[in-house]
Structure 1
Amino acid sequence: MNKSESRKAIVIGIILLFFGMYAVSASDTLVTTNSQLMNREWLYVGGTGPGNYTTIQSAINDANPGDTVFVYSGTYYENVVVNKDNINLIGENNDTTVIDGLSLGDAVDIMSEGVTITGFTVQDDFFGIVLFPYYNNNTVIGNIAHSNLAGIYVWLSNNNTVIGNTAYSNVDYGIQVWLSNNNIVMGNTVSNNDCGIFIDSSSNNSVTENTVLNNDNGIFIDSSSYNHLTGNIVSNYIYGIWIDSSSYNDIIGNTVSDNSFGILLDYSSNNNIIGNTVSDNGGGIHLQVSSNDNDIIQNTITSNSAAIFLHTSYSNTIMENTVTHNHEEIYLYQSNSNNLYHNNLIDNYQDSYDDGSNAWDNGYPSGGNYWSVYIGMDNDGDGIGDTPYNISGGSNQDRYPFMEPNGWVNEPPDKPDKPSGETKGKINTDYIYTTKTIDVDGDQVCYQWDWGDGSQSTWLGPYDSGLFAAAEHSWSVKGDYSIKVKAKDIHDVESDWSDPLPVTMPCSYKIPMQWFWERLFQRFPNAFPLLRHLLGY
């Protein structure tokens, strides 16, 4: 090898060595960077991994928004503050991953947004988990909170989700929502607290499908509006569901049993109590002290000491409830202008009482209530007793008591048959059309016809169910029309419209020698079909 070739080989070698060193350096840098990214995405506390944190707070302090802090089973004696957004704080197992604040503060304070905390037991603290003021959109799911002043506390915080937690043996509240709106409290098990779930000065919260057992007070709504309590199971020592100084709340579809008071309203108006099952309580549904304009509808109230009790409460509607096997039926004390009708009152030990001025029926034919103790007759067969039912305590009466349970339930007539009659004719000529329908309740029916020309008949009838009804109409303008008809029963419940009958009314004009053609067509009724068509016969 000459000197030139030797020098060239040395240069190439140096270049290759340089690129090799650069490649190794770049690879090391890439590995280091990826490792850092992985550590920053998932930070581990406890366990045996090298470099794991020993406290939850130190991991959170090193975390960036969006990171996950995973905590292995163990007991951590600290007061945790989550002050970075979108942190996922995950415990390995909610039975064995414990945060114990040693009664020195709160177990977990969430002072950021978009945080999820799950899989922990929080205990022996002032509050277990606190969602702090003005931090929203957090999720508390699948935790256990016990032996705190309050288990889970939502404080001036909105749009949070508290779901699937267990809160028990807290001094005051299992779950408390104060001055907070649009939160979801769902699927939690809350037991052996002074108050299970407390909604205070808050609006538009959803309290759904929680199991609330063995608390002094179950669900307490105070000074709050537009909240929704649905599908909860509530069985406690004193109050099942207590609504105080609150309005426009929905209490729907809950099971409330074995409380001193099932559902209690104090100073509360314009609430809906609908479709609940209320049983084996001291008081079933109890309204008192200016609880006005509430709707108590379609509840099943069974085996309570007092089924429905109103005290100094006005303008409430009590309808379509089933009240059975209670000691006291419905008791109205110093309450006026309430409306009670379409209730089934069956086999209660003590009859209803009313010392005020209230309406116990909705007029005729809508009717009043069904009373299992009513002994009147129904000579006219309308399903309503011929004599009133007297309410003890004053001069109130149910003027139209039903003879059978749910006697007010009324099905609409069937859709009438498609109208039958001429489909072609002449304008300014009367034509008769017929139809019929069946009313499954056997009520008489009336018919209203729509003639397709912008006009409708008045209600015609009544006709017996199943019999033909007829109506007459003429059209003044040539054209194509669709005739339809509907029916209603004596309770003003209407059917659907019938299928339409198309009709055609051709132009009317003066036919020369009209008398001749009429006699010709009468003499030969089956002849001259084309001529008949052209002349409109």
Structure 2
Amino acid sequence: MNSTVDVILVNRCNQNDEFRTVLSAKMCVRVLLILMLAAAAVLVVGAGVGAAATWYVDDDGGAEIDYMKIQDAVNAAEDGDTIYVYAGIYNECLIVCKSLILQGENREATIVDANGGNKGIEITANDCAISGFTIRNCLDTGIDISSSSNSNTITDNIIHSVTGGSNCDWDGIEVTISSYNVISNNKIFDCDDEGIELDGSSYNIVINNTIYSNTEVGIDVRGSLHNYIANNTIYSNGEPGISLGRSWSTEPVVWGSSHNTITFNVIYSNGDDGIGLKNSSNNNITNNNISNNQCGGIHLRNSSNNNITKNNISLNNDTGIDIAGSSSHNFITNNNVFDNYDEGVELELDGSHSYNYVTGNNIFNNSDDGIDLGAYSSYNFITDNNIFDNHDDGVDLDAYCSHNSITDNNIFDNHNDGVDITSSSNNALVGNTVSSNGDNGIQIKLSNNNRIYHNNFLNNADQADDNGNNFWDNGYPSGGNYWSDHTCTDNPSDGSQPYTIDGGAGAVDHYPFESMNGWLTTPQKGDLDDDGILTPADAAIALAIAASGAQNPAADVSGDGSVTSLDALMILQAAENTHASGTEIAYGDGSAEGGWSMGHGDGTCSDDGGNWGYAIRMTTPDSEPFTITAIKLFSRRYGEDCNTRFEIWGQDRNTLYSDIVSHSEYSAAVDSFDSVTWGYKEVPDVVVSGDFYIAMYTDSSDPSDEIYPDTGVYVGYDTSFSSDRSYTTQGKTLTWDLSTPQETTNWMIRAVGMK
């Protein structure tokens, strides 16, 4: 016999009056639980209802125990009561038809053994909480939340061995037409069907569960909306880890699921896809780790408007992300898709896919293509991806793909072609860098009317091959592509130095570029002195060209194939009418007002970095309103690529516009005086009138030296450069010092727009 201690209790469980009893020390823990559980019970009691009772269940019985069976306590309890169940094996199936808290002492040792009964715990009331149990040996369902029940909490339970029944569900937890439930921190395994099934149920939260070794799906969501599924570990299930929208073989209808969020789950080694969607739309699938599944990582069929972003998808036995059937308007963005045993991203051959966006992904080392657009895929956007080291093509367009846009991708080191287009027409490939691929940079077979321009083709085994009728440039002055194995002059060249495409079809890039990304600084037609605007000086140059009989496509503004006095006249008229309504005009040559404060002793920055910038004052004629659409500047970079902050100020130096972009985004000029050129930074329409300012500075990567920082930008004035006019900063707070305006300095910065 253990030592004893006197404790006075109020026992509401047996409905008797107050009594005094003596408890063994072994039971002191139970006394403490009274206070904690009574406080918890209050949370489920509505206003105006009497104090909740706590009932105690122990299969071994005892003086202070109310019941030896859990169901007996449930039957006796009222809404809001708590039933505390001590460790033991309870051979029963429970029906909870009241708003109760069922709390097990220890989920490893407090066991509800259905012993071959159908359901371990069936909940038919609202606002129930089930926690701290093992539920096992059920023929149908471990915990069943029925259609008459909402707002329940199922947490910290172990559910396993749901098996053997005929025409049963065999789910660990099944939620049917029920909402606002929380299912968390449960361990669910060895069920003959799903680990968790949400059927026609919405606004549920399923978090922090471990779900494994179930015969079918880890979490199955059918006909359900607005559920939040997060931070679960789901592995070694026989079918998909998570499925949205699924039909049974006996059901002709697919119950799609929409507006669900699936995030931060770890899903691996399942017998089908990691995540599968069927007839499901407007779901967010983000930040999941999906690996080593027997089929694909994420599979969509007949599903649209889904957002799949920031997932890590690797080592799956099929495609990383597979879009099948008729699926459209899906956004596949910022994922890492690598080491999968088929394609990285695939739009399958069995449907019509349109308006899908594959953007900003890293897709590498997959066993087949990086991105594969299957037959009849159209109007899709493949942009800003890094696609490399895939074992077949970087991007592959199969038969009858049309009107797809493949832009601004970095496609390199793929084992076969960088881009392969077969029997597909009217696609656009623009702004890509295609380099060091094992076969062709781009191969086009049996395809017509594709447009390929403003791409960099670098050091591919064969740069390009085309046996169809396609366009390899965008005319002059827009130009064609840059080819690392071709020498030409100017950006673009003038048509006298074309690049011939292999393949026997006579394909030609008529206007290749001298420099990589040379199209970023393409001059305005007729701007013959390269100052960014049309002036009478340009007309004079055109007239001289006409008199000499020379050819210059930039001077041929009439487009008749030759330079004549008509072209000079057209340039002169354009220069005189720059202020006409609807005509693009450029303001510039404004005086510079001072520079950035250096920050010594004024608290604006430390002494370990120099801060220089420009505030250029400009004035619109007669103070008329002017809409700025771009900023042009004559500049070059020194050191590594760095960010530039552009600002537009009003008359009172109030900020009207502010943005940060890298120098390489608005200029191709690198660390050489010879490469200085005009850059072009688009801005959303900014309306100014009278005096206004363009302000700018750089964000240096490591400006450790105040006088000679590691990186920055030179801006031209009077067509020259000087190191004391460079500027850089470490992104610290800066202040303007406008006390010494440089009124006579002609800075080569322009505000371009429409009057």
TM-score, normalization: structure 1?
Answer: 0.70
* Cα 1:497/1:132, change in 2 over 3 Å: closer
State the partner residue of 1:129. 219
* Cα 1:481/1:375, change in 2 over 3 Å: closer
Q: Indicate if the aligned counterparts of 1:265 and 1:291 stay in contact, CA closer than 8 A.
A: yes
Q: Indicate if the aligned counterparts of 1:60 and 1:82 stay in contact, CA closer than 8 A.
A: yes
Matches within 5 A, 1:239-318: 239-244=343-348, 245=351, 246-259=353-366, 260-267=368-375, 268-281=377-390, 282-304=392-414, 305-318=416-429
Deviation track 1:267-289 (CA, whole Å, cap 9, x = no partner) reads 11110001000000121000011
Q: Which amino acid aligns with 2:183?
A: L
CA positional deviation for 1:376: 3.2
Q: Aligned partners of 1:329 and 1:345: how far apart in 2?
A: 7
Deviation track 1:492-518 (CA, whole Å, cap 9, x = no partner) reads 9999887538xxxxxxxxxxxxxxxxx
For structure 1, which segment, 484-493 or 328-337, has the greater mean C-alpha deviation from structure 2 after superposition?
A: 484-493
Q: Aligned partners of 1:163 and 1:460: how far apart in 2?
A: 50
Question: Secondary structure of the residue that 1:340 maps to in structure 2?
Answer: strand
Matches within 5 A, 1:132-171: 132-133=222-223, 135-147=224-236, 148-155=238-245, 156-171=256-271
Q: Which amino acid aligns with 1:289?
A: A
Gaps of 5+ in 2: 1-16, 18-47, 55-76, 83-98, 112-130, 136-140, 163-170, 246-255, 525-534, 539-553, 556-570, 591-620, 633-677, 692-755
Residue 283 of structure 2 corresponds to residue 183 of structure 1: yes
* Cα 1:70/1:310, change in 2 over 3 Å: same
CA positional deviation for 1:377: 4.0
Q: Indicate if the aligned counterparts of 2:477 and 2:522 stay in contact, CA closer than 8 A.
A: no
Q: Which amino acid aligns with 2:354?
A: S
CA positional deviation for 1:76: 2.6
Q: Which amino acid aligns with 2:421?
A: L
* Cα 1:362/1:466, change in 2 over 3 Å: farther
What is the aligned length?
425
Q: Indicate if the aligned counterparts of 2:521 and 2:680 stay in contact, CA closer than 8 A.
A: no
CA positional deviation for 1:164: 1.2
Q: Aligned partners of 2:148 and 2:210: how far apart in 1?
A: 22
Q: Indicate if the aligned counterparts of 1:44 and 1:59 stay in contact, CA closer than 8 A.
A: no
CA positional deviation for 1:195: 1.1
Q: Indicate if the aligned counterparts of 2:622 and 2:690 stay in contact, CA closer than 8 A.
A: no
CA positional deviation for 1:208: 0.9
Structure having the higher Rg? 1
Q: Indicate if the aligned counterparts of 1:44 and 1:70 stay in contact, CA closer than 8 A.
A: no
* Cα 1:170/1:499, change in 2 over 3 Å: same
* Cα 1:38/1:242, change in 2 over 3 Å: farther
Q: Aligned partners of 1:212 and 1:265: how far apart in 2?
A: 19
CA positional deviation for 1:188: 1.1
Q: Which amino acid aligns with 2:175?
A: V
State the partner residue of 1:76. 160
* Cα 1:456/1:28, change in 2 over 3 Å: closer
Within the candidate set 466, 471, 476, 1:359 is matched to 471
Q: Aligned partners of 2:283 and 2:584: how far apart in 1?
A: 51
* % identical equivalent positions: 30
* Superposition RMSD in Å: 4.0
Q: Aligned partners of 1:488 and 1:166: how far apart in 2?
A: 47
For structure 1, which segment, 159-168 or 279-288, has the greater mean C-alpha deviation from structure 2 after superposition?
A: 159-168
* Cα 1:161/1:457, change in 2 over 3 Å: closer
CA positional deviation for 1:386: 3.3
Matches within 5 A, 1:30-109: 30-32=51-53, 36-37=79-80, 39=82, 40=99, 43-44=102-103, 46=107, 53-55=133-135, 57-58=142-143, 60=145, 64-72=149-157, 74=158, 76-78=160-162, 79=171, 80-83=173-176, 84-91=178-185, 97-101=187-191, 104-109=192-197
* Cα 1:35/1:286, change in 2 over 3 Å: same
Q: Which amino acid aligns with 1:129?
A: I
Q: Which amino acid aligns with 1:30?
A: A
Matches within 5 A, 1:88-487: 88-91=182-185, 97-101=187-191, 104-111=192-199, 112-123=201-212, 124-133=214-223, 135-147=224-236, 148-155=238-245, 156-193=256-293, 194-215=295-316, 216-223=318-325, 224-235=327-338, 236-244=340-348, 245=351, 246-259=353-366, 260-267=368-375, 268-281=377-390, 282-304=392-414, 305-327=416-438, 328-378=440-490, 386-393=496-503, 394-410=505-521, 447=575, 456=581, 482-483=623-624
CA positional deviation for 1:137: 1.4
Q: Aligned partners of 2:271 and 2:584: how far apart in 1?
A: 67
* Cα 1:366/1:53, change in 2 over 3 Å: same
* Cα 1:88/1:348, change in 2 over 3 Å: same
CA positional deviation for 1:351: 2.1
Q: Which amino acid aligns with 1:242?
A: E
Q: Aligned partners of 2:228 and 2:682: how far apart in 1?
A: 49
Q: Which amino acid aligns with 1:237?
A: Y
Q: Aligned partners of 2:146 and 2:582: how far apart in 1?
A: 79
Q: Aligned partners of 2:159 and 2:291: how far apart in 1?
A: 23
Q: Aligned partners of 1:160 and 1:343: how far apart in 2?
A: 39
CA positional deviation for 1:387: 1.3
* Cα 1:371/1:497, change in 2 over 3 Å: farther
* Cα 1:435/1:331, change in 2 over 3 Å: closer
CA positional deviation for 1:31: 3.8
Q: Aligned partners of 1:314 and 1:144: how far apart in 2?
A: 44
Q: Which amino acid aligns with 2:361?
A: N
Deviation track 1:3-54 (CA, whole Å, cap 9, x = no partner) reads xxxxxxxxxxxxxxxxxx9xxxxx9942439995364475546256899544
Question: Secondary structure of the residue that 2:426 maps to in structure 1?
Answer: coil
Question: Secondary structure of the residue that 2:463 maps to in structure 1?
Answer: coil
For structure 1, which segment, 201-210 or 307-316, has the greater mean C-alpha deviation from structure 2 after superposition?
A: 201-210
CA positional deviation for 1:398: 0.4
* Cα 1:152/1:483, change in 2 over 3 Å: closer
* Cα 1:145/1:458, change in 2 over 3 Å: closer
